[in-house]
Chains A and B, each alone.
Chain A
């Protein structure tokens, strides 16, 4: 469903990604982990068509990715730059107008699940509730690919839990694939099918998470620590 072949990405003279090849299939929740600046966000942006590869190819459902891929990809940015003069309900309406695949009923359902007041003004929302709203907007789209850049970052444990529960409840694993970048591994490791570790723009490991536990007796954090060490030496 998502294919990256020998992808390189440079920003000016700086290399951000080197020789990334990936093959990801639907029906999975995949975690992209690594240090700050390792290339996680750039990888998501390449798949979202927001950044073009300097070399190699990126395909979604067999089609080369360009800006038009937005019709197949729901992308949750690290930033939240919504119109602050809207309230929650208006923001949902706005997104429904922007995307033909936006399912308003589902949005309503997720909004209620997240206990967001439709009349609350965005500029008055807490950081946690803005995080929840982003989940509503991202998951309400009926698209094959969902990309989430740091959905848990900087949020308190209760919000993180509600987001994890939101993912479990509203992702359609029959049809969708979800790619999440995160630092908060502990929170999310029980819902990941696969994990990909990135270091300095290279993939240093890609594993089925349950297989990792069975074969190496390791959780994601232990696994990451061990391969990060190995890749330094």
Chain B
């Protein structure tokens, strides 16, 4: 979690993205408590105000919920987490495809390239 942030993109959204990935990877489970705003700030060297904004943002997306006097928790609503999983996948794919198109690759090339890459790297995935 100590990787640095890009200085030219909003920190609050970069942090939100990191937390989303932790949820996707299962490092943060549904119902888990997030670190307090200050603890999180300390972990990632970020202003507590910015962490607060990240939490608010995630709360708006219903990915986390804050419980009065207790802290902020990952939602236990599976359909929201499933939606997030799907949305982030689509986003990543569309970025990848866009940059492949930018370099002039055709859809068939992208498809076959991806297929053979995944086959070649199968072992890693099943580890």
Q: Which A residues lie within 8 Å of B34 (CB)?
A: none
Q: Which A residues lie within 8 Å of B5 (CB)?
A: 190
Cβ B7 vs Cβ A165 within 8 A: no
Cα separation A169 to B41 with both chains bound (whole Å): 8
Interface size class of B (residues with CB under 8 A): 10 to 19
Q: Which B residues lie within 8 Å of A193 (CB)?
A: 47, 49-50
Which residue, B12, B41, B44, has most C-beta atoms of chain A within 10 A?
A: B41
Would you call B8 an interface residue if the criterion is a C-beta within 8 Å of the partner chain's C-beta atoms?
A: yes
Q: Which A residues lie within 8 Å of B44 (CB)?
A: 190
Closest B residue to A223 by beta carbon equals B8
Cβ B8 vs Cβ A190 within 8 A: no
Closest A residue to B8 by beta carbon equals A219
Closest A residue to B12 by beta carbon equals A210
Would you call A220 an interface residue if the criterion is a C-beta within 8 Å of the partner chain's C-beta atoms?
A: yes
Would you call B33 an interface residue if the criterion is a C-beta within 8 Å of the partner chain's C-beta atoms?
A: no
Interface size class of A (residues with CB under 8 A): 20 to 34
Closest A residue to B52 by beta carbon equals A173
Cβ A210 vs Cβ B7 within 8 A: no
Cα separation A214 to B11 with both chains bound (whole Å): 10
Q: Which B residues lie within 8 Å of A189 (CB)?
A: 7
Q: Which B residues lie within 8 Å of A68 (CB)?
A: none
Bitwise interface map of B from 29 to 58 toward A, beta carbon under 8 Å scored 1, else 0? 000000000100110111111100100000
Would you call A80 an interface residue if the criterion is a C-beta within 8 Å of the partner chain's C-beta atoms?
A: no
Cβ A210 vs Cβ B45 within 8 A: no
Cross-interface CB contact of B7 among A27, A29, A169, A219, cutoff 8 Å: A219
The answer to whether A210 and B10 touch (CB under 8 A), given A29-B47, A165-B42, is yes
Would you call A227 an interface residue if the criterion is a C-beta within 8 Å of the partner chain's C-beta atoms?
A: no
Would you call B126 an interface residue if the criterion is a C-beta within 8 Å of the partner chain's C-beta atoms?
A: no
The answer to whether A213 and B8 touch (CB under 8 A), given A28-B49, A29-B47, A168-B48, is yes
Would you call A217 an interface residue if the criterion is a C-beta within 8 Å of the partner chain's C-beta atoms?
A: yes
Cβ B47 vs Cβ A220 within 8 A: no
Cα separation A28 to B50 with both chains bound (whole Å): 11
Cα separation A193 to B46 with both chains bound (whole Å): 10
Chain A residues close to B by CB (< 8 Å)? 27-29, 161, 164-165, 168-169, 173, 186, 189-193, 210, 213-214, 217-222
Chain B residues close to A by CB (< 8 Å)? 5-12, 38, 41-42, 44-50, 53
Question: Top 5 A-B pairs ranked by shortest CB distance?
Answer: A219-B7, A191-B47, A219-B8, A213-B10, A168-B41
* 14 A–B contacts, CB within 8 A, in A order: A161-B45, A169-B42, A189-B7, A190-B11, A190-B45, A190-B46, A191-B45, A193-B50, A210-B11, A210-B12, A213-B7, A213-B8, A218-B8, A219-B7
